[in-house]
Structure 1
Amino acid sequence: MSAVSQDEADRVLHLKSREREAHACYPCRKRKVKCDGVQPCRTCQKRKHPEICTYVLPHSRRRSASRHSVARSASPRSPAVASNQQARPDDSSKNYVYSGDNSVASILRMRASDINESVAREVGSVLGLQNTFSNYTFMNSKTPLERWQSLLTVMPQRSEVLKFFHFYRVTAYPFNPILADIDRFESDLCTYLNAHASGELRDPENITDRWATDKSIGHVSLLLATLAAGAHYSDIGCSERFELSTDFARRSFHALRLANFLFRPSLDIIQALLILGNTLQNMGQSDAAWALLGTTIRLAQTMGLHTERSTVHWPEHVRTKARNLWSTIIWQDSLLCLCYDRPPIVSVTGWSFANSFFERQDLSFAEVMHLLCRIGLDIMRPENLSTAESDRALEGLQRLDYAHQRGLPYLRSRENCTTMQQHLEHLALRMHTSFCISVLCRPAMKQSTPQPFLHQTGILRDRAKGSLIDASKAFLDFQALSTVPLRSWSMVHTVLSSTLLLCIWEETRNDPECCNLQQKVIDVFSSSNSRINDDGASLPESDSQWLSDRHIRALVTLRSALEREQETSATGTENWTGMAPNMLPQFGPGPVGPVDMTNPFDVSPVTYLDSIMNLPMFDYTQENGFL
């Protein structure tokens, strides 16, 4: 004890006692036998008394006093600190649920020194604010052995990891860095491969303790999610690529259920859900990705990832990981909100960035993207929609320009690019920036015919035209160097929406440069999607899996529009009159939006674009009948 203080020794012993408490149920602790930490555990099942297998134990006065000391050590000015003591990653309690400072649960925890300790500790359960299921209830695996055997059926093989993680790391991750700590993940990946090679993950009758925990299974689900994304960006044939990506995603979801993701979320689980949602987007299933993202955000808020105060007592490296993860969630929500014109649900006020982040002039691609996404969220905030559209657009343009100019030199100008990756990041940023600019400037495109406009509107129309042209040019340059833009839903959406607007906007549809760009974009899609017939039907074994049905309809409409432009020598007004109503029947039966009920002269390009890209998937007027 000469080199170690008594307080330090007591702290270590206290942590060890909590570890023992976390891994043994009451009967096993009483008998001093091994417990696997699952409810009911195998020992209680063998002894035929699973009903008394419980982890809620009476707390001794000594342990109660030690927890009093922890609660008193928190600052009285930071209620969130006290209310989130159990949020620490190394805490043995898995029943923590984040609650705000004004909730009854936080108030009771804050006043733990003045009331009965057990009441403060169990207040979440008492108030019905806490999950109690140790296992995922909506599946058949009831015993630990059944869960282990089910896990072995979805675990990735060594050959799968070596082949497809490379594609995720090199192709997908740089342009959408969802993994919050890529270095740590790769280190854990090596651990997994070593365990697989040693035979730890082979015997269905022998549970390997370190791989059967919720945390380990959550990591397996994350690994499978990266393989799903990697398979999507791989160099194998389209049909096989789609089947493999779907299979990895299915196995990842199964591992999530085994990890009890809905009741016990973790950092790995949140990342797995984000990557799976992004993979769904890239398969053209953006509506499903939108729904899954809502669930992911709620689970992240359950953990308190949306606010810095809830992580104040976490280790620094875990806090950094949590901050990065919430920024990634903001990225995903911003992108989908801009594409769909739907209100965001994330908040950017919970975490404070260092002033240097906002003052530096050497921001990386990911850092500039985070700034753009924060601006995108501000654009979509309902409280900001009351401001005059032109004023809001001009202010947003200034912020976008400022953010873009603070990037590294190669991000600002392609002349400064010296490596392939720099060229790709430069073009990706140009596409994202151009898309944000076009969204801001769409109020200026709402009139289908030229009208007298204010100076502000003239600025917006000029910026709108420039952004649509630049998005198309960046896409053409990008796809010449990489498959990324043809496999990424956000980039496909950006170039198709930009090209469609160029085609139908009166200021650009007869412009020679714009027409040339439209044809080049169509040629790229046609060569990658050569087996789409004239009616827009997708033929078997085509390379169109990355295109959704809406994108295919948009492509067919655009191609038909250009053919009409080339076949007729009529004026622009006559072209517009003949184009809009005749295009719409190609979409098939069902409602087609406001276009077919409106004089084409009064239809704005934005409304016409929405009628193509956002055709209703379901006929909600038929909800009254069962069949």
Structure 2
Amino acid sequence: MNPVTQDEADRVLRQKARKYESHACYPCRKRKVKCDGSQPCRTCIRREHPGICSFQTQTPRRERGRGPSTPLSVRTPASASARVTRQGHTNPIGNAAGDWRIADAGVSSGADNSEPRPDDASKDYVYSGDNSVVSILRLRGLNANDSVAREVGSVLGLQNTFSSYPFMDSKTPGERWRSLLGVLPQRAEVLKFFHYYRITAYPFNPILADMDRFELDLCTYLNAHAGGDLRNPECISERWATDKSVGHISLLLATLAAGAHYSDIEYPQRLELSTDFARRSFHALRLANFLFRPSLDIIQALLVLGNTLQNMGQSDAAWALLGTTVRLAQTMGLHTERGSAHWPEYVRSKAKALWSTIVWQDSLLCLCYDRAPIVSVSGWPSGPSFFERTNLSYADTMHYLCRLGLIIMCPQGYGVTEADRAIETLQNMDALHQRGQPHLLDRGNCATMQQHLEHLALKMHTSFCVSVICRPAMKQSQTQLPHMEILRSRAKGSLIDASRAFLDFEALSVVPLRSWSMVHTVLSSTLLLCIWEETRSDPECRDLQQRVIDVFSSSDSRSDDRTVLNETDGQWLSERHIRALVTLRSALDREEDRGVVDSEQLDTRLGAVPPFNAGDLDGDFDLSNPFDISPVTYLDSIMNVPIFDMTQEYGFP
């Protein structure tokens, strides 16, 4: 017999080493407490973390420490699942608590699992800065898979522990499943309204980071729905009941809400459907525990819902929701390259694209409201070719434009005058525009309908940004400062271009009349054309003013979409926009010596808007008053009427 080498003997011994299944779950063994062996055990249920109740297959003690730690394997026998359902314990449907952070980053809800999944260490990741205790401990050499490093965030109170959304009634898996079935989009709804989102809304606001993957998952959902996987309230589908899948369903519902808003049905039904889809989407977000377990699908759903709220005229609510969305995205580390370094490459690219979309949303809202942004692009350093790229698409140009928007909203540096900063920003915008695709540079290069629409949409956004940059030149007190003639000329051109682009866009598509940012742009531009001494007597400007007013005050409500201010559509725009339009109509009538418009009668016709109290600017404000009020101040007084009654803060009604 040939002598056996030591390596061969060790190999045989390792194969024969007896493995055993622990009689206590991992949390109970970790805390050295009694475990009844059920799954989830009563101790984990009592401690309110049934989702992490799992049983680890261990090797003998002498083998520990030799190589990577053995991953947890969750024991899920049919009898245990049935026992949990019968007893009504709070066991979240789907995976353990560790399966929430980026589980849907590469594999979206219920689709095939052929793509690689993030490793287990990434699932519990919560972004922390370099100076946090968590980062310091990891930098000290602790392995990311080590239990101390993994749980230190929870120990320090820096990580959420609720495995299900605590502010709703669904407690058991069965209740949660039945609640989900109650909001699922039906096949007819998906086929009708997703088309509107894909064709009309998405091209001009591409919030979804991977549309191709989303459409693939949408096909999977429709097949599952047709196959009966999403119909039986008594049979929980393990594939579709996970937080990951529920988060994807909330995103699907959010796209349907946006699609319904851009559909061709009558306004009252359109508003009702869009609101209903948004309500169902938000309910699905709660079922997915969005506030405690964010994911990429959840972030995208919140962005689509916020944009839909804007387009309904509820921009203040959209602003508040965006703040929550940004914080959840920062929790995941989307705002910085280092925060996503532990993810696979395809997930990192998706995270970067999603953060750029968040910057897009925040920048436009900040420019409209003149509020400080809460996002930053410093966490994703630009490559050397960032400002050298050419032939930029509409979406790429908009991303860069919104980055410039953040610069516009930042305080100016020490020693830099407002005019000098405006000139520099205008130069950057002009350079950006020259790097766009040919159809974005000149409408004469447009060969398709979509290219015409993209050209006009970019023209509106660019003109709005230019008008914001040049607004200091509209103030009478600064007309003699350097560069003011250049800025005044650019300001006038931007206001005219915005109005023209809106009118051309509106003739081709419903997008400008359904998009809050575009409505805000054209009304702001038209108001400034009306009240600025540089333009209010210009025949071309007055013609543009009248044409814009005609679009919004058309009385042909049944056959044309240009009836957003008739009796049925009066509340589509916010009350501030309606007040602005009332003021504009009154100012034009006064200029033409046709008398002052009866504001109460006009309010009744435009949707019974409450009377405007800030000096009744729509009725008796004199455009030629001796105090020469700044047009910007005048515009802000119209568009930014306080909606919060602070006089009621003291005392209980």
- Residue from 485, 488, 497 that aligns with 2:524: 497
In structure 2, the CA distance between the partners of 1:611 and 1:223, relative to structure 1 (3 Å rule), is same
Q: CA deviation at 1:527?
A: 1.7
Tell me what 2:265 maps to.
236
Q: Closer, same or farther in 2 for the Cα pair 1:392/1:28, shift >3 Å? A: closer
* Amino acid across the alignment from 2:452: H
More divergent stretch after superposition (471-480 vs 597-606)? 597-606
Structure 1 residues 579 and 398 mapped into 2: Cα distance closer, same or farther (>3 Å)? farther
Matches within 5 A, 1:353-502: 353-382=382-411, 384=413, 387-447=416-476, 453-502=480-529
- Which protein is bigger by CA-based radius of gyration? 2
Q: Distance in 2 between matches of 1:252 and 1:184?
A: 20
For structure 1, which segment, 607-616 or 432-441, has the greater mean C-alpha deviation from structure 2 after superposition?
A: 607-616
* Contact kept? 2:39, 2:53, Cα under 8 Å: no
Name 2:178's counterpart in structure 1: 149
C-alpha distance 64-516 of structure 1, shift in aligned 2 (>3 A): farther
AA at the equivalent of 2:522: V
AA partner of residue 220 (structure 1): I
Q: How many residues align?
A: 566
Worse-matched range after superposition: 590-599 or 209-218: 590-599
Alignment of 1:248-287 (within 5 A): 248-287=277-316
Contact 1:593 1:615 survives alignment (8 Å):
no
CA distance in 2, matches of 1:625, 1:529: 48
Task: Note the residue ranges of structure 2 that are not aligned, 5 or more in a row.
Answer: 1-20, 29-35, 72-100, 106-117, 604-608
For residue 453 of structure 1, report the CA deviation from its aligned partner.
Answer: 1.6
Contact 1:343 1:382 in 2 (8 A): no
Alignment correspondent of 1:508: 535
Shift of 1:556: 1.4
Task: Choose from 593, 601, 607 the match for 1:567.
Answer: 593
1:61-86 CA-to-partner distances (Å, cap 9, x unmatched) read 7787656899xxxxxxxxxxxxxxx9
Alignment pair present for 1:618 and 2:644? yes
Counterpart AA for 1:177 = P
Structure with the largest fraction of helix = 1
Q: Does structure 1 residue 222 correspond to structure 2 residue 251?
A: yes
1:95–1:132: 8 Å Cα contact kept in structure 2? no
Q: For the structure 1 residues 142 and 169, does the alpha-carbon distance in structure 2 shift closer, same or farther, using more than 3 Å as the test?
A: same
In the alignment, structure 1 residue 55 sits paired with structure 2 residue 52:
yes
Alpha-carbon displacement from aligned partner over 1:95-136 (angstroms, at most 9, x marks no partner): 321101111101112224499943222110111100000000
Q: Who is 1:15 aligned against? A: none
Q: How far off its partner does 1:566 sit?
A: 1.4
Q: Give runs of aligned pairs for residues 508-527 of structure 1, distance below 5 A.
A: 508-527=535-554
Q: What is the aligned partner in structure 1 of residue 573 from structure 2?
A: 547
Q: Distance in 1 between matches of 2:143 and 2:349?
A: 34
Bigger shift: residues 463-472 or 547-556: 547-556
1:139 aligns with 2:168: yes
| CA distance in 2 between partners of 1:42 and 1:269 (Å) | 32
Match of 2:157 in 1: 128
Shift of 1:543: 2.9
Matched, 1:206 2:235: yes
Q: Contact conserved, 2:553 with 2:565, CA < 8 A, in 1?
A: no
Structure 2 residue 585 is matched with structure 1 residue 588 = no
**Conserved 8 A contact 1:238-1:545:** no
The one-letter amino acid paired with 1:527 is S
Residue 18 of structure 1 corresponds to which residue in structure 2? none
Aligned pairs for 1:24-63 (under 5 A) are 27=25, 44=40, 50-51=45-46, 53=50, 55=52
Contact 2:564 2:572 in 1 (8 A): no
CA spacing shift, 1:266–1:593, aligned 2, 3 Å: farther
SS at match of 2:239: helix
Q: What is the one-letter code of the residue matched to 1:472?
A: S
Contact 1:152 1:202 in 2 (8 A): yes
**Aligned-residue offset at 1:287:** 0.3
CA distance in 2, matches of 1:414, 1:509: 28
What are the superposed Cα offsets for residues 276-307 of structure 1, whole Å, 9 maximum, x if unpaired?
00000000000000000000000000000001
SS in 2 for 1:617: coil
Identity %: 69
The structure-2 alpha-carbon separation of the partners of 1:25 and 1:167, relative to structure 1 and needing over 3 Å to count, comes to farther
Change (3 A) 1:545 1:317: farther
Q: Deviations over 1:177-214 (max 9, x none)?
A: 00000000000000000000000000000000010000
CA distance in 2, matches of 1:434, 1:538: 25
- Greater CA deviation, 374-383 or 605-614? 374-383
**Runs of at least 5 residues in structure 1 that lack an aligned partner in the other structure:** 1-20, 31-39, 71-85, 570-574
Which of 199, 202, 206 is the aligned partner of 1:173? 202
Report the more deviating stretch, 326-335 or 55-64: 55-64
Contact 2:27–2:52 (8 Å) recurs in 1 = no
Return the letter of the residue paired with 2:239: R
RMSD of equivalent CA atoms: 3.6
Alpha-carbon contact 1:522-1:555 (below 8 Å) kept: yes
Which residue type is aligned with residue 444 of structure 1? A
C-alpha displacement of 1:383: 5.3
2:374 aligned with 1:326: no
Which residue does 1:11 correspond to in 2? none
Amino acid at match of 1:521: V
Query: How far, CA to CA, are the matches of 1:272 and 1:444 in structure 2?
Result: 40
Distance between the aligned counterparts of 2:126 and 2:502, measured in 1?
A: 44
Please report the TM-score for the alignment, with normalisation by the length of structure 2.
0.80
| Paired amino acid for 1:51 | R
Q: CA deviation at 1:58?
A: 9.2
Q: 1:539 to 1:196 in 2, by over 3 A?
A: same
Find the aligned partners of 2:64 and 2:462 in 1 and give their Cα distance.
56
Task: Work out whether residues 220 and 255 of structure 1, in 8 Å CA contact, stay in contact via their aligned partners in 2.
Answer: yes
CA offset digits 1:441-467 (Å, max 9, x no partner): 00011228xx76244011100000000
Give how far 1:384 is off: 4.5
> Which residue identity lines up with residue 635 of structure 2 in the other structure?
L
In structure 1, what residue type is equivalent to 2:247? G
Once the two structures are TM-superposed, the CA of residue 563 in structure 1 deviates from its matched residue by 1.3
Structure 1 residue 350 and structure 2 residue 345: aligned? no
